Structure 1
Amino acid sequence: MFIVFLRFSARRDQAGQLMQAHKEWLARGFDDGVFLLAGSLQPQAGGVILASGVTLAQLEERLSSDPFVVEDVVQTEIVAMTPSKADPRLQFLLMGS
């Protein structure tokens, strides 16, 4: 499982014109079953994605096609984690570990 941080770069002013393409890219990640959760970093610092079911190389390849990454609107940071304990409502997250 991976936590992906998408932190705005100096080109964050370009985010508005790329937002629709970024949202479509996110939707593909959810449709493919790779993205489990996505949201904004506060205060307006970028975004975060919880990803599962892929290798690091596959995730890096997927991230490289994000319009925000392509246009250097965000810089990515990937943190790998192996979940070992979860609230009962999130037990499904432990299945792959």
Structure 2
Amino acid sequence: MYVVLLTYTAPLAEIDYVLPDHAEWLGRQFEHGNVLASGRRADHRGEVLLVRPMSEGKLEATLATDPLLLRHLAHHEIVEFAATRTGPELRAFNEALAH
């Protein structure tokens, strides 16, 4: 599983202009089951995505299609982790239970 930290690198006015396209992209990622949760960071410097387990190559390719990244308005940091404790809603992604 991954936590993806998006950090805006442009003024919020530029970010706001692209947010509808980003929201559409994000909606497709939810429909495909790639993203499990998302939200704007409390300091409004970016966003956080919780992403299902997949190859890092697939994740990088998926992120490369995000309009914020395509337009160089944000950069991302990927934090990979193995979910070993989860709430019931995320039990299907608990890697400790998969074995």
TM-score normalised by structure 1 residue count: 0.89
Q: Is the 8 A contact 2:53 2:93 kept in 1?
A: no
**RMSD between aligned alpha carbons?**
1.8
Question: Aligned-pair distance for 1:11?
Answer: 4.8
Q: Report the secondary structure of 2:85's partner residue.
A: coil
Amino acid at match of 1:92: A
Q: How many residues align?
A: 97
Equivalent residue number for residue 66 of structure 2:
66
Measure the CA separation in 2 of the matches of 1:47 and 1:40: 4
Measure the CA separation in 1 of the matches of 2:63 and 2:11: 17
Amino acid at match of 1:18: V
Q: Is the 8 A contact 1:12 1:74 kept in 2?
A: no
Measure the CA separation in 1 of the matches of 2:11 and 2:72: 7
Equivalent residue number for residue 86 of structure 1:
86
Measure the CA separation in 2 of the matches of 1:13 and 1:70: 17
Measure the CA separation in 2 of the matches of 1:45 and 1:70: 18
Q: How does 1:1-97 map to 2 (within 5 A)?
A: 1-94=1-94
In structure 2, runs of 5+ residues without a counterpart are: none
In structure 1, runs of 5+ residues without a counterpart are: none
Structure 1 stretches of 4+ with a deviation exceeding 6 A read none
